[in-house]
Amino acid sequence: MTPQPHPRAGAAVKAADRAHVFHSWSAQELIDPLAVAGAEGSYFWDYDGKRYLDFSSGLVYTNIGYQHPKVVAAIQEQAATMTTFAPAFAVEARSEAARLIAERTPGDLDKIFFTNAGADAVEHAVRMARLHTGRPKVLSAYRSYHGGTQQAVNLTGDPRRWASDSGTAGVVHFWAPFLYRSRFYAETEEQECARALEHLETTIAFEGPATVAAIVLETIPGTAGIMLPPAGYLAGVREICDKYGIVFVLDEVMAGFGRTGTWFAADLYDVVPDLMTFAKGVNSGYVPLGGVAISGEIAATFAERPYPGGLTYSGHPLACAAAVATLTVMEEEGIVEHAARLGTDVVGPALRELAERHPSVGEVRGTGMFWALELVRNRETREPLVPYNASGQAATPMSAFAASAKAHGVWPFVNMNRTHVVPPCNISEAELKEGLAVLDTALSVADEYT
Ligand code: PMP
């Protein structure tokens, strides 16, 4: 996989992109997307032959890296036999993918509704919860991301909601626990947990328990900063949901399928939701696929009453064949265990060591291949290195940090004042150490702003 330089081809790709591609989350004239010539394993490269180690796994989805030969072969084979078939039919790739997913999801989440991606999985989970309970409202956390479609963006807690929020539309936000920036004046994880649960229950009491259909939470909030919930929090939410007859939805679109060093983040906390959304890692994003894993009780609601919702491409055979191959490869190659071991033995200790030497590192948190460094101007006051709602495009200390990492061959995940260490779950130990050494160099750039 030695990349060959093709600068002229790269220029043509960039010119057509600039003329005709309308990019997500961007001011169109202020961006300069890299033209990517190829990708393999944990690396991708541009047309000048410059190679990058992908510490972002795309948008945190290439859990088995790029171009895994067995998954590519499975897609080719499916394309040769049955590229597509409508959702109302039983199709081998679809039923096999559903079986493999249901076998791995916790508890009795045994029915799988397939969607095209994460946001529409969240939309359908909310619809199922509303129909199951007959109640209108949905509670979700500030500091969350649930997707870019309308209901999902309303549920999202982070500033990306602001421009397109259609008013609350039955959505009520609450504060989930996050000790480093506690909203509850807590000094210990135990206090944070107890007060966050009390806050949630009080919110429900004032909203009217009989009006609340669902609580939607990322098991570990991802885009918002990889905040691991304190021990007991998710079990406490489960209890609250049971007490008031509220559907508990865990969003595992980013945290699921090995990212946390377990099949699902819910496994770390021994909690079973009523509905669980997934996408991304289910097939490493080789073909778009998402879904909702549904409990027996909620599935029973739609046993003799039709579920009013569907998608043309629900359970697309090509995407499902990629999922079957991905899950098989993850099992055969022990990728989940690998992510757990490298997280505990390599990433955690390395990031904590970086935090000791770099004054810009405010906090290190994570598990498996799911880590965040929160960067600050001042460790005492915890003032973020960039404001909470900083635009992704303006030149900031974070963009200087990212530019340094890229110049040294690592593509970082940067959001607001954080960089996330989220490489493919099957990255080798040597590649991981190479990337962590580059972060060390790039953090020296961030330190200049402290
Ligand atoms: N939920 C979570 C937790 C996510 O991280 C994302 C995507 N980053 C989504 C939902 C939306 O997924 P998609 O972009 O595939 O619609």
Residue 105 lies in a domain: yes
210 plus 318 within the same structural domain: yes
Residue 86 maps to which CATH number?
3.40.640.10
Residue 308 lies in a domain: yes
pLDDT score, position 391: 58
Examine the fold and report which residue of 332, 363, 388 is the final residue of a domain before the chain moves on: 332
Q: Which residue among 144, 146, 219 has the greatest number of ligand 1 atoms within 8 angstroms of its CB, and so is best to mutate? A: 146
What angle (nearest 5°) sits at the alpha carbon of residue 90, between those of residues 87 and 96? 105
Residue 116 lies in a domain: yes
- The whole domain housing 302 covers 69-332
Q: Is the CB of 289 under 6 A from ligand 1?
A: no
Is 42's pLDDT higher than 90?
yes
145 plus 206 within the same structural domain: yes
Residue 342 lies in a domain: yes
Residue 2 lies in a domain: no
124 plus 174 within the same structural domain: yes
| Element spanning 193, H or E | helix 189-207
363 plus 258 within the same structural domain: no
pLDDT score, position 392: 55
Examine the fold and report which residue of 306, 332, 358 is the final residue of a domain before the chain moves on: 332
**Atom of ligand 1 lying closest to residue 118 CA:** 12
Residue 428 lies in a domain: yes
Query: pLDDT band at residue 161, thresholds of 50, 70 and 90?
Result: confident
Distance CA 228, CA 211 (A): 29
Task: Classify residue 344 by its DSSP letter.
Answer: I
Residue 422 maps to which CATH number?
3.90.1150.10
Residue 1 lies in a domain: no
Residue with CA nearest ligand 1 atom 7: 147
User: Percentage of residues in the chain with pLDDT exceeding 70?
Assistant: 98
Residue 368 lies in a domain: yes
- Asked if residue 296 lies in contact with residue 112, where contact means CB atoms within 8 angstroms, the answer is no
Q: Which residue among 120, 158, 253 has the greatest number of ligand 1 atoms within 8 angstroms of its CB, and so is best to mutate? A: 253
Q: DSSP per residue over 30-80, as a string?
A: G--PPPEEEEEBTEEEETT--EEEETTHHHHT-TT-B--HHHHHHHHHHHH
Mean pLDDT rounded to a whole number for the chain: 96
229 plus 125 within the same structural domain: yes
Residue with CA nearest ligand 1 atom 13: 118
Distance CA 37, CA 27 (A): 24
125 plus 145 within the same structural domain: yes
Distance CA 61, CA 54 (A): 11
Examine the fold and report which residue of 316, 332, 348 is the final residue of a domain before the chain moves on: 332
197 plus 300 within the same structural domain: yes
Q: Is the CB of 117 under 6 A from ligand 1?
A: yes
CA–centroid distance, residue 150 to ligand 1 (Å): 13
Q: Is the CB of 146 under 6 A from ligand 1?
A: yes
CA–centroid distance, residue 3 to ligand 1 (Å): 31
Total domain count, the chain: 2
CA–centroid distance, residue 11 to ligand 1 (Å): 31
Structure-token pair, residue 55: 């510490």
252 plus 159 within the same structural domain: yes
253 plus 134 within the same structural domain: yes
Query: pLDDT band at residue 395, thresholds of 50, 70 and 90?
Result: confident
97 plus 135 within the same structural domain: yes
**Atom of ligand 1 lying closest to residue 144 CA:** 3
44 plus 166 within the same structural domain: no
Per mean pLDDT, which range of 151-165, 177-191, 300-314, 333-347 is the poorest?
151-165
Distance CA 173, CA 176 (A): 9
pLDDT score, position 263: 98
Query: pLDDT band at residue 390, thresholds of 50, 70 and 90?
Result: low
149 plus 212 within the same structural domain: yes
Query: pLDDT band at residue 394, thresholds of 50, 70 and 90?
Result: low
**Atom of ligand 1 lying closest to residue 59 CA:** 8
CA–centroid distance, residue 117 to ligand 1 (Å): 7
Q: Is the CB of 218 under 6 A from ligand 1?
A: yes
Query: pLDDT band at residue 163, thresholds of 50, 70 and 90?
Result: confident
In tens, the pLDDT along 43-83 reads 999 999 999 999 999 999 999 999 999 999 999 999 999 99
Question: 370 phi and psi, to 5 degrees?
Answer: -140, 85
Is 27's pLDDT higher than 70?
yes
Mean pLDDT within 194-200: 98
Is 393's pLDDT higher than 80?
no
Q: Is the CB of 122 under 6 A from ligand 1?
A: yes
Structure-token pair, residue 172: 């009520």
Q: Is the CB of 78 under 6 A from ligand 1?
A: no
